[in-house]
Amino acid sequence: MVAEYGALQYGRPFVFWLGPRPRLVVSGPEVAKDVLTDSTGTFRKGSGSNVNPLSRQLLGEGLVALTGEKWAHHRRVISPAFNMERIKGWIPEISAITSSMLDKWEVQGETRAEFEIDSPEEFHTLSADVISCIAFGSSYEEGKRIFQLQDEQVQLALLAMRTFYFPGFRFVPTKKKQRRHSLNKEIRNSLRRLIEINRKKCEDSKNLLGLMLSASKTDKEFKMGIEEIIDECKTFYFAGKETTANLLTWATLLLALYKEWQHKARAEVLQVCGKNKHPNAETLSSLKIVNMVLKETLRLYPPALFVNRTFTRDVKLGKLDIPAGTQLNMPIIEMHHDVNIWGANAEEFDPSRFADGKSYHLGAYFPFGIGPAICVGQNRTMVEAKLALAMVLRGFAFDVSPSYVHAPMMAMTLQPQYGAQVLVHKI
Protein backbone atom coordinates (compact mmCIF):
# COMPACT_ATOMS: atom_id res chain seq x y z
CA MET A 1 0.00 0.00 0.00
CA VAL A 2 1.40 3.42 -1.00
CA ALA A 3 0.59 5.03 2.36
CA GLU A 4 2.38 2.35 4.40
CA TYR A 5 5.42 2.26 2.11
CA GLY A 6 5.67 6.05 1.97
CA ALA A 7 5.41 6.38 5.74
CA LEU A 8 8.27 3.92 6.23
CA GLN A 9 10.40 5.68 3.63
CA TYR A 10 9.62 9.32 4.30
CA GLY A 11 7.77 9.61 7.61
CA ARG A 12 4.60 11.65 8.06
CA PRO A 13 3.22 13.54 6.23
CA PHE A 14 4.48 12.79 2.72
CA VAL A 15 3.48 13.51 -0.86
CA PHE A 16 3.28 11.20 -3.84
CA TRP A 17 2.10 11.88 -7.37
CA LEU A 18 -0.93 10.17 -8.85
CA GLY A 19 -0.49 10.95 -12.51
CA PRO A 20 -0.33 14.76 -12.85
CA ARG A 21 -1.74 15.48 -9.39
CA PRO A 22 -0.01 15.57 -6.00
CA ARG A 23 -1.56 13.54 -3.18
CA LEU A 24 -0.74 14.43 0.42
CA VAL A 25 -0.88 11.55 2.92
CA VAL A 26 -1.57 12.54 6.52
CA SER A 27 -2.71 10.67 9.60
CA GLY A 28 -3.56 11.38 13.20
CA PRO A 29 -6.86 11.79 15.04
CA GLU A 30 -6.78 15.57 15.23
CA VAL A 31 -6.19 16.21 11.55
CA ALA A 32 -8.76 13.54 10.60
CA LYS A 33 -11.36 15.20 12.82
CA ASP A 34 -10.60 18.69 11.50
CA VAL A 35 -10.78 17.63 7.85
CA LEU A 36 -13.80 15.31 8.01
CA THR A 37 -15.94 17.55 10.22
CA ASP A 38 -15.12 20.72 8.27
CA SER A 39 -18.26 22.63 7.27
CA THR A 40 -16.61 25.47 5.34
CA GLY A 41 -16.22 23.61 2.05
CA THR A 42 -12.42 23.68 2.25
CA PHE A 43 -12.16 19.92 1.81
CA ARG A 44 -14.30 18.56 -1.02
CA LYS A 45 -15.60 15.02 -0.63
CA GLY A 46 -13.85 12.48 -2.83
CA SER A 47 -11.83 13.50 -5.82
CA GLY A 48 -14.66 14.63 -8.07
CA SER A 49 -13.78 14.90 -11.72
CA ASN A 50 -10.44 13.19 -11.14
CA VAL A 51 -12.09 9.78 -10.78
CA ASN A 52 -11.20 7.39 -13.59
CA PRO A 53 -14.19 7.66 -15.98
CA LEU A 54 -13.96 3.92 -16.68
CA SER A 55 -14.78 3.14 -13.04
CA ARG A 56 -17.68 5.60 -12.75
CA GLN A 57 -20.22 3.26 -14.27
CA LEU A 58 -20.29 1.11 -11.13
CA LEU A 59 -21.94 3.73 -8.93
CA GLY A 60 -22.98 6.20 -11.61
CA GLU A 61 -24.10 9.51 -10.11
CA GLY A 62 -25.20 8.00 -6.80
CA LEU A 63 -24.57 9.41 -3.33
CA VAL A 64 -21.15 7.76 -2.92
CA ALA A 65 -19.79 9.32 -6.12
CA LEU A 66 -21.42 12.75 -5.91
CA THR A 67 -19.93 15.96 -4.52
CA GLY A 68 -21.08 19.51 -3.84
CA GLU A 69 -24.68 20.69 -4.12
CA LYS A 70 -25.84 17.61 -5.99
CA TRP A 71 -24.53 15.40 -3.19
CA ALA A 72 -26.26 17.58 -0.58
CA HIS A 73 -29.56 17.36 -2.50
CA HIS A 74 -29.43 13.56 -2.77
CA ARG A 75 -28.43 13.29 0.88
CA ARG A 76 -31.50 15.29 1.96
CA VAL A 77 -33.77 13.00 -0.05
CA ILE A 78 -32.24 9.71 1.09
CA SER A 79 -31.48 10.36 4.78
CA PRO A 80 -35.10 9.91 6.00
CA ALA A 81 -35.03 6.30 4.79
CA PHE A 82 -32.32 5.51 7.34
CA ASN A 83 -33.60 6.97 10.59
CA MET A 84 -33.54 4.44 13.42
CA GLU A 85 -37.30 4.10 13.80
CA ARG A 86 -37.67 3.13 10.16
CA ILE A 87 -34.77 0.68 10.43
CA LYS A 88 -36.42 -0.94 13.46
CA GLY A 89 -39.46 -1.52 11.28
CA TRP A 90 -37.32 -3.69 8.98
CA ILE A 91 -36.22 -6.05 11.77
CA PRO A 92 -38.96 -8.66 11.13
CA GLU A 93 -37.95 -8.90 7.46
CA ILE A 94 -34.24 -9.16 8.29
CA SER A 95 -35.03 -11.82 10.90
CA ALA A 96 -37.13 -13.87 8.46
CA ILE A 97 -34.46 -13.74 5.75
CA THR A 98 -31.74 -14.75 8.24
CA SER A 99 -33.93 -17.64 9.41
CA SER A 100 -34.14 -18.88 5.82
CA MET A 101 -30.34 -18.97 5.59
CA LEU A 102 -30.06 -20.81 8.91
CA ASP A 103 -32.73 -23.31 7.85
CA LYS A 104 -30.40 -24.34 5.01
CA TRP A 105 -27.59 -24.76 7.53
CA GLU A 106 -29.90 -26.92 9.63
CA VAL A 107 -30.45 -29.25 6.67
CA GLN A 108 -26.70 -29.64 6.19
CA GLY A 109 -26.31 -30.32 9.90
CA GLU A 110 -28.80 -33.20 9.76
CA THR A 111 -26.44 -35.41 7.78
CA ARG A 112 -23.08 -34.19 9.10
CA ALA A 113 -21.91 -33.27 12.57
CA GLU A 114 -19.75 -30.55 11.04
CA PHE A 115 -19.83 -28.87 7.64
CA GLU A 116 -17.88 -26.13 5.89
CA ILE A 117 -19.32 -22.85 4.66
CA ASP A 118 -17.65 -20.01 2.81
CA SER A 119 -18.72 -16.99 4.88
CA PRO A 120 -18.55 -14.38 2.09
CA GLU A 121 -20.80 -16.45 -0.15
CA GLU A 122 -23.35 -17.04 2.61
CA PHE A 123 -23.43 -13.46 3.86
CA HIS A 124 -23.44 -11.83 0.44
CA THR A 125 -26.51 -13.88 -0.42
CA LEU A 126 -28.11 -12.92 2.89
CA SER A 127 -27.35 -9.22 2.49
CA ALA A 128 -28.51 -9.19 -1.12
CA ASP A 129 -31.83 -10.70 -0.10
CA VAL A 130 -32.25 -8.13 2.68
CA ILE A 131 -31.42 -5.22 0.35
CA SER A 132 -33.93 -6.39 -2.25
CA CYS A 133 -36.64 -6.73 0.38
CA ILE A 134 -36.23 -3.54 2.41
CA ALA A 135 -35.18 -1.25 -0.42
CA PHE A 136 -37.41 -2.37 -3.25
CA GLY A 137 -40.02 -4.67 -1.78
CA SER A 138 -38.98 -7.43 -4.17
CA SER A 139 -37.73 -10.93 -3.54
CA TYR A 140 -34.07 -11.76 -3.98
CA GLU A 141 -34.85 -13.72 -7.15
CA GLU A 142 -36.13 -10.56 -8.85
CA GLY A 143 -32.95 -8.69 -7.99
CA LYS A 144 -30.57 -11.61 -8.41
CA ARG A 145 -29.72 -10.77 -12.01
CA ILE A 146 -28.78 -7.22 -11.02
CA PHE A 147 -26.36 -8.50 -8.37
CA GLN A 148 -24.78 -10.92 -10.85
CA LEU A 149 -24.28 -8.11 -13.34
CA GLN A 150 -22.87 -5.81 -10.67
CA ASP A 151 -20.39 -8.47 -9.56
CA GLU A 152 -19.00 -8.56 -13.10
CA GLN A 153 -19.09 -4.77 -13.23
CA VAL A 154 -17.02 -4.61 -10.02
CA GLN A 155 -14.27 -6.72 -11.59
CA LEU A 156 -14.15 -4.49 -14.67
CA ALA A 157 -14.18 -1.36 -12.49
CA LEU A 158 -11.27 -2.71 -10.42
CA LEU A 159 -9.32 -3.40 -13.57
CA ALA A 160 -10.03 0.14 -14.79
CA MET A 161 -8.90 1.70 -11.50
CA ARG A 162 -5.64 -0.27 -11.55
CA THR A 163 -4.91 0.75 -15.12
CA PHE A 164 -2.99 3.93 -15.85
CA TYR A 165 -5.56 6.26 -17.35
CA PHE A 166 -4.78 8.25 -20.49
CA PRO A 167 -7.19 11.12 -21.31
CA GLY A 168 -9.20 10.12 -24.35
CA PHE A 169 -8.60 6.39 -23.86
CA ARG A 170 -12.29 5.91 -23.11
CA PHE A 171 -13.01 6.64 -26.78
CA VAL A 172 -10.85 3.73 -27.96
CA PRO A 173 -13.13 0.76 -28.79
CA THR A 174 -12.14 -2.36 -26.85
CA LYS A 175 -13.97 -5.54 -25.83
CA LYS A 176 -13.84 -4.54 -22.16
CA LYS A 177 -15.26 -1.12 -22.97
CA GLN A 178 -18.10 -2.69 -24.94
CA ARG A 179 -18.83 -5.10 -22.08
CA ARG A 180 -18.82 -2.23 -19.56
CA HIS A 181 -21.37 -0.33 -21.60
CA SER A 182 -23.46 -3.45 -22.10
CA LEU A 183 -23.46 -4.20 -18.36
CA ASN A 184 -24.33 -0.64 -17.45
CA LYS A 185 -27.21 -0.58 -19.92
CA GLU A 186 -28.59 -3.93 -18.73
CA ILE A 187 -28.36 -2.96 -15.05
CA ARG A 188 -30.10 0.37 -15.65
CA ASN A 189 -32.84 -1.29 -17.70
CA SER A 190 -33.35 -3.95 -15.01
CA LEU A 191 -33.64 -1.28 -12.32
CA ARG A 192 -35.99 0.75 -14.49
CA ARG A 193 -38.26 -2.28 -14.85
CA LEU A 194 -38.08 -2.95 -11.11
CA ILE A 195 -39.03 0.66 -10.40
CA GLU A 196 -42.00 0.54 -12.76
CA ILE A 197 -43.24 -2.78 -11.36
CA ASN A 198 -43.09 -1.48 -7.80
CA ARG A 199 -43.95 2.18 -8.44
CA LYS A 200 -47.51 2.19 -7.09
CA LYS A 201 -46.73 -0.06 -4.15
CA CYS A 202 -43.52 1.76 -3.26
CA GLU A 203 -45.10 5.20 -3.29
CA ASP A 204 -47.27 4.06 -0.40
CA SER A 205 -44.38 2.43 1.46
CA LYS A 206 -41.50 3.70 3.57
CA ASN A 207 -38.63 1.95 1.83
CA LEU A 208 -35.85 3.74 -0.04
CA LEU A 209 -37.40 3.53 -3.47
CA GLY A 210 -40.82 4.55 -2.19
CA LEU A 211 -39.41 7.62 -0.45
CA MET A 212 -37.53 8.76 -3.54
CA LEU A 213 -40.55 8.28 -5.78
CA SER A 214 -42.87 10.04 -3.33
CA ALA A 215 -40.47 12.95 -2.85
CA SER A 216 -40.12 13.39 -6.59
CA LYS A 217 -43.89 13.72 -7.00
CA THR A 218 -44.80 15.87 -4.01
CA ASP A 219 -41.88 18.16 -3.20
CA LYS A 220 -39.93 20.23 -5.72
CA GLU A 221 -37.07 20.68 -3.23
CA PHE A 222 -36.61 16.90 -3.03
CA LYS A 223 -37.35 16.08 -6.66
CA MET A 224 -35.16 13.46 -8.31
CA GLY A 225 -35.36 12.34 -11.90
CA ILE A 226 -35.78 8.68 -12.84
CA GLU A 227 -32.12 8.42 -13.90
CA GLU A 228 -30.99 9.84 -10.55
CA ILE A 229 -33.19 7.32 -8.75
CA ILE A 230 -31.65 4.51 -10.80
CA ASP A 231 -28.16 5.70 -9.82
CA GLU A 232 -29.10 5.67 -6.15
CA CYS A 233 -30.57 2.18 -6.52
CA LYS A 234 -27.27 1.02 -8.04
CA THR A 235 -25.37 2.54 -5.13
CA PHE A 236 -27.64 0.99 -2.52
CA TYR A 237 -27.58 -2.41 -4.20
CA PHE A 238 -23.77 -2.42 -4.21
CA ALA A 239 -22.71 -0.47 -1.11
CA GLY A 240 -25.45 -1.83 1.12
CA LYS A 241 -24.68 -5.43 0.24
CA GLU A 242 -20.89 -5.23 0.33
CA THR A 243 -20.52 -3.41 3.65
CA THR A 244 -22.84 -5.65 5.68
CA ALA A 245 -21.69 -8.91 4.09
CA ASN A 246 -18.02 -8.12 4.70
CA LEU A 247 -18.66 -7.07 8.31
CA LEU A 248 -20.42 -10.39 9.01
CA THR A 249 -17.68 -12.32 7.19
CA TRP A 250 -14.85 -10.81 9.22
CA ALA A 251 -16.80 -11.00 12.50
CA THR A 252 -17.53 -14.70 12.01
CA LEU A 253 -13.91 -15.41 11.14
CA LEU A 254 -12.61 -13.50 14.16
CA LEU A 255 -15.01 -15.29 16.51
CA ALA A 256 -13.85 -18.60 15.04
CA LEU A 257 -10.26 -17.60 15.81
CA TYR A 258 -10.95 -16.12 19.26
CA LYS A 259 -13.20 -18.75 20.78
CA GLU A 260 -13.46 -17.08 24.19
CA TRP A 261 -15.26 -14.13 22.58
CA GLN A 262 -17.49 -16.48 20.62
CA HIS A 263 -18.52 -18.11 23.92
CA LYS A 264 -19.08 -14.73 25.61
CA ALA A 265 -21.19 -13.40 22.74
CA ARG A 266 -23.28 -16.58 22.55
CA ALA A 267 -23.90 -16.60 26.31
CA GLU A 268 -25.14 -13.02 26.08
CA VAL A 269 -27.50 -13.83 23.19
CA LEU A 270 -28.96 -16.82 25.03
CA GLN A 271 -29.38 -14.82 28.22
CA VAL A 272 -31.06 -11.85 26.51
CA CYS A 273 -33.07 -13.60 23.79
CA GLY A 274 -33.39 -17.20 24.91
CA LYS A 275 -32.93 -20.24 22.69
CA ASN A 276 -36.00 -19.87 20.48
CA LYS A 277 -37.05 -16.21 20.50
CA HIS A 278 -35.80 -14.01 17.67
CA PRO A 279 -34.10 -10.72 18.66
CA ASN A 280 -36.26 -7.61 18.38
CA ALA A 281 -35.49 -3.89 18.60
CA GLU A 282 -35.52 -3.96 22.40
CA THR A 283 -33.35 -7.05 22.86
CA LEU A 284 -30.89 -5.93 20.17
CA SER A 285 -30.08 -2.84 22.23
CA SER A 286 -29.20 -5.13 25.15
CA LEU A 287 -26.61 -7.14 23.20
CA LYS A 288 -23.59 -5.18 24.42
CA ILE A 289 -20.96 -7.87 23.78
CA VAL A 290 -22.22 -8.52 20.24
CA ASN A 291 -22.01 -4.77 19.61
CA MET A 292 -18.44 -4.72 20.97
CA VAL A 293 -17.52 -7.60 18.65
CA LEU A 294 -18.84 -5.74 15.61
CA LYS A 295 -17.10 -2.49 16.56
CA GLU A 296 -13.77 -4.25 17.04
CA THR A 297 -14.24 -6.07 13.73
CA LEU A 298 -14.73 -2.71 12.00
CA ARG A 299 -11.58 -1.41 13.68
CA LEU A 300 -9.46 -4.26 12.34
CA TYR A 301 -11.21 -4.57 8.98
CA PRO A 302 -12.91 -1.28 8.03
CA PRO A 303 -14.93 -1.29 4.79
CA ALA A 304 -12.51 1.18 3.16
CA LEU A 305 -8.77 1.50 3.76
CA PHE A 306 -8.61 5.26 3.32
CA VAL A 307 -10.69 8.37 2.76
CA ASN A 308 -9.90 11.12 0.24
CA ARG A 309 -10.60 14.82 0.20
CA THR A 310 -9.55 17.58 -2.22
CA PHE A 311 -8.44 21.06 -1.11
CA THR A 312 -10.71 23.67 -2.70
CA ARG A 313 -8.45 26.60 -1.73
CA ASP A 314 -4.93 27.26 -0.51
CA VAL A 315 -4.64 26.12 3.11
CA LYS A 316 -2.02 26.13 5.83
CA LEU A 317 -2.15 22.73 7.54
CA GLY A 318 0.18 22.75 10.52
CA LYS A 319 3.54 23.81 9.09
CA LEU A 320 2.53 22.96 5.54
CA ASP A 321 1.26 25.35 2.86
CA ILE A 322 -1.12 23.30 0.71
CA PRO A 323 -2.18 24.61 -2.73
CA ALA A 324 -5.77 24.26 -3.94
CA GLY A 325 -6.41 21.13 -5.97
CA THR A 326 -4.15 18.93 -3.86
CA GLN A 327 -5.72 15.60 -3.01
CA LEU A 328 -5.61 14.54 0.65
CA ASN A 329 -5.35 10.88 1.62
CA MET A 330 -6.07 9.70 5.19
CA PRO A 331 -5.40 5.97 5.75
CA ILE A 332 -8.23 4.73 8.00
CA ILE A 333 -6.69 1.33 8.54
CA GLU A 334 -3.39 2.79 9.73
CA MET A 335 -5.13 4.90 12.37
CA HIS A 336 -7.27 1.92 13.38
CA HIS A 337 -4.08 -0.08 13.99
CA ASP A 338 -2.00 2.69 15.59
CA VAL A 339 -0.31 1.41 18.78
CA ASN A 340 -0.21 4.97 20.13
CA ILE A 341 -4.02 4.96 20.18
CA TRP A 342 -4.93 1.31 20.74
CA GLY A 343 -1.95 0.04 22.71
CA ALA A 344 0.69 -2.60 22.10
CA ASN A 345 -1.93 -5.20 21.15
CA ALA A 346 -3.42 -3.02 18.40
CA GLU A 347 -3.16 -5.88 15.88
CA GLU A 348 -5.15 -8.26 18.09
CA PHE A 349 -8.90 -8.78 18.27
CA ASP A 350 -10.01 -7.41 21.65
CA PRO A 351 -13.65 -6.27 21.83
CA SER A 352 -13.15 -5.14 25.44
CA ARG A 353 -11.72 -1.92 23.96
CA PHE A 354 -15.35 -0.90 23.50
CA ALA A 355 -16.68 -2.17 26.83
CA ASP A 356 -19.14 -0.01 28.79
CA GLY A 357 -19.62 2.33 25.84
CA LYS A 358 -15.97 3.37 25.89
CA SER A 359 -15.21 5.83 23.13
CA TYR A 360 -12.05 7.15 21.54
CA HIS A 361 -10.97 10.38 19.89
CA LEU A 362 -13.47 11.24 17.15
CA GLY A 363 -10.72 11.07 14.54
CA ALA A 364 -9.21 7.80 15.78
CA TYR A 365 -12.07 5.45 14.91
CA PHE A 366 -14.29 6.11 11.90
CA PRO A 367 -15.13 2.98 9.89
CA PHE A 368 -18.15 4.78 8.39
CA GLY A 369 -16.54 8.22 8.30
CA ILE A 370 -17.46 11.20 10.48
CA GLY A 371 -18.91 14.63 9.90
CA PRO A 372 -21.39 15.73 7.21
CA ALA A 373 -20.44 12.90 4.82
CA ILE A 374 -20.74 10.05 7.35
CA CYS A 375 -22.17 6.91 5.73
CA VAL A 376 -25.93 7.36 5.49
CA GLY A 377 -26.52 3.61 5.87
CA GLN A 378 -24.35 2.88 8.91
CA ASN A 379 -27.29 2.29 11.28
CA ARG A 380 -28.91 -0.13 8.85
CA THR A 381 -25.63 -2.01 8.48
CA MET A 382 -25.13 -2.31 12.23
CA VAL A 383 -28.71 -3.42 12.94
CA GLU A 384 -28.65 -6.05 10.19
CA ALA A 385 -25.22 -7.36 11.22
CA LYS A 386 -26.12 -7.44 14.91
CA LEU A 387 -29.36 -9.29 14.28
CA ALA A 388 -27.84 -11.82 11.88
CA LEU A 389 -24.80 -12.50 14.07
CA ALA A 390 -26.98 -12.99 17.15
CA MET A 391 -29.15 -15.52 15.32
CA VAL A 392 -26.10 -17.40 14.02
CA LEU A 393 -24.50 -17.54 17.49
CA ARG A 394 -27.69 -18.83 19.06
CA GLY A 395 -27.88 -21.90 16.84
CA PHE A 396 -24.36 -22.66 15.64
CA ALA A 397 -20.73 -22.79 16.75
CA PHE A 398 -17.86 -22.39 14.32
CA ASP A 399 -14.12 -22.98 13.93
CA VAL A 400 -11.66 -21.87 11.28
CA SER A 401 -11.41 -24.39 8.46
CA PRO A 402 -7.97 -25.84 7.58
CA SER A 403 -8.64 -24.65 4.02
CA TYR A 404 -8.74 -20.98 5.07
CA VAL A 405 -5.85 -18.80 3.84
CA HIS A 406 -5.56 -15.38 5.47
CA ALA A 407 -5.19 -12.84 2.66
CA PRO A 408 -7.14 -9.59 3.16
CA MET A 409 -7.52 -7.82 -0.17
CA MET A 410 -8.77 -4.38 -1.07
CA ALA A 411 -11.23 -4.70 -3.93
CA MET A 412 -14.02 -2.12 -3.72
CA THR A 413 -14.09 -3.02 -0.02
CA LEU A 414 -11.68 -4.91 2.26
CA GLN A 415 -12.42 -8.61 1.84
CA PRO A 416 -10.74 -12.04 2.06
CA GLN A 417 -9.05 -12.81 -1.25
CA TYR A 418 -9.57 -16.58 -1.10
CA GLY A 419 -12.81 -16.65 0.87
CA ALA A 420 -13.30 -17.21 4.60
CA GLN A 421 -14.06 -20.88 5.18
CA VAL A 422 -15.34 -21.90 8.61
CA LEU A 423 -16.47 -25.25 10.01
CA VAL A 424 -19.97 -25.05 11.45
CA HIS A 425 -21.83 -27.37 13.81
CA LYS A 426 -25.25 -27.10 15.35
CA ILE A 427 -25.56 -26.57 19.11
Cα–Cα distance between 53 and 192 in angstroms, integer? 23
Cα–Cα distance between 23 and 15 in angstroms, integer? 6
Question: Closest by alpha carbon to 409, among 290, 294, 305, 280?
Answer: 305
Give the contacts of 243 (CB within 8 A, at least 6 positions apart): 303, 375, 377, 381, 413
Question: Closest by alpha carbon to 137, among 247, 233, 73?
Answer: 233
* Amino acid, single-letter form, for residue 210: G
Cα–Cα distance between 409 and 25 in angstroms, integer? 21
Cα–Cα distance between 223 and 217 in angstroms, integer? 7
The alpha-carbon radius of gyration of the chain (Å, integer) is: 22
Residue 45, H or E segment: strand 43-45
CA triplet 206, 210, 215: central angle to 5 degrees? Answer: 105
Annotated binding site: 375
Residue 403 — φ and ψ, nearest 5°? -80, -10
**Secondary structure, 3-state, 128-163:** HHHHHHHHHCCCHHHHHHHHHHHHHHHHHHHHHHCC
Q: What is the DSSP letter of 182?
A: H
Strand 327-331 and strand 21-25: the pairing is parallel
Annotated binding site for heme: 375
